[in-house]
Chains A and B, each alone.
Chain A
Amino acid sequence: MATESVPAARKNSVMAPATYVGAGVLVGLTAIYWFLSTQMYADVLGDTAYAMSYWFGTLLQIVFAVVIVTIALRIGLDQGVGKQWLFVGMGVAAFAIGDIIWTVLELHMGLDPYPSLADPFYVLQYVFFMTAIVLAIRSYQHLTPIRTPVIIAAAIAIILGIVVYAALLAPHIFPAGIAELGFWGLVVSTLYPLGDVFFILAPALALALIIRQLGAGRLGWPWWVIVVGAVVYSFTDAFYSYADWSGLGLTVTLDMGWAVANLMFALAALVARDVYRVR
């Protein structure tokens, strides 16, 4: 006897071929920047090639921002998720603007860009990213418990905040103080590593614990990619400060962390576009 059971889910792929192409292009551009960065670090480029490589990395951030904002607008700002992705995109856009200012100051004006007008824009990425993730977390409150994940993430953030204080702030940043860093230098040197923990990593951890409850549910997919990007961003940013101050030395890999993190945010938006598409 033929039985009609639970209808099987469609077998067609959630991800569109165009998404693989788009993701491939973004990854390829980032790989090119990685190669250029190795040449910049090796100091084997002429002035023009160095400047072009520098600008390549800066413009790459703009590409990432445009991808995310465009997808957010396509989802629609009248939709809750559209707003969440717009904030992710605005965060990357703020970072890109900061990078443009940094590039102009350092490359073309020969000024030390730290601290500078670039910093408010870098700080804005914290604001926009945290807003996006808080909105995303709140959007799941009717589906899954969110209190416990938030408490666990906050506890981990406090522990990591203590680590940042013990490894970076107390031995390096605070002793340097205003005398060495200037007022704004001290402010941003303190804010960045703590911001990485409390405004990027902690919200991302909370979100990860929440969407983990969705199992293989596809609405969680893009947020997993966001979480990976947030982890890369926060560790890069915090460890960059530590490596710089402790004399550990900076590397191309470490320097690429921001580009890779913003790449992950752009890839997440591409995944979101497909997940939200009606088939």
Chain B
Amino acid sequence: MATMRERVEAALGTYVGDTVADTCVRGTALSLGKSADDLTEADLPALESSIRRLLGPIAPSSVIDDLLTKIQKGF
């Protein structure tokens, strides 16, 4: 089963590229006092908040909503 990190990076990478996606996930994990590999379902609200803040200026909210839905469903 894909880890939370892999799910988020796969979804984000489509839009912002793998490198930036990786940076986003690691940054969010760091703000939670975790490593990216330790992210779990429980961290979804924090990830969602982080993704909305980062992507909000560069993508319409409908795209971000769709992306978050895919992450929650594991695609």
Question: Which residues of A does B touch, CB under 8 Å?
Answer: 4-7, 9, 75-76, 79-82, 136, 138-140, 142-144, 213-220, 276, 278-279
Q: For chains A and B in complex, what number of residue pairs have CB atoms within 8 angstroms?
A: 78
| 27 A-B residue pairings within 8 Å (CB atoms) | A4-B2, A7-B2, A7-B74, A9-B10, A75-B60, A80-B57, A81-B57, A81-B60, A82-B60, A140-B58, A142-B53, A142-B54, A143-B16, A143-B24, A143-B54, A144-B20, A214-B16, A215-B17, A215-B18, A216-B17, A217-B14, A217-B16, A217-B20, A219-B16, A219-B59, A276-B59, A278-B62
B-to-A contact residues, CB < 8 Å: 1-2, 6-7, 10, 13-21, 23-24, 53-54, 56-63, 65-66, 74-75
Residues of B within 8 A of A219 (CB): 15-16, 58-59
Contacts of B7 in A (CB 8 A): 6-7
With a cutoff of 8 Å between Cβ atoms, the chain A residues found around residue B16 in the complex are: 143, 214, 217, 219-220
Interface class of chain B by DSSP: helix
Interface of A (DSSP majority class): loop
Q: Which residues of B contact A4 (CB under 8 A)?
A: 1-2
Q: Which residue of B lies closest to A74 (CB)?
A: B60
Give me the 3 closest cross-chain CB pairs, A-B, nearest first. A215-B17, A217-B17, A7-B75
A4: nearest residue on chain B (CB-CB)?
B1
Instruction: Decide: A6 near B2, CB < 8 A? Known: A218-B14, A219-B15, A219-B16.
Output: yes
Q: Which residue of A lies closest to B15 (CB)?
A: A219
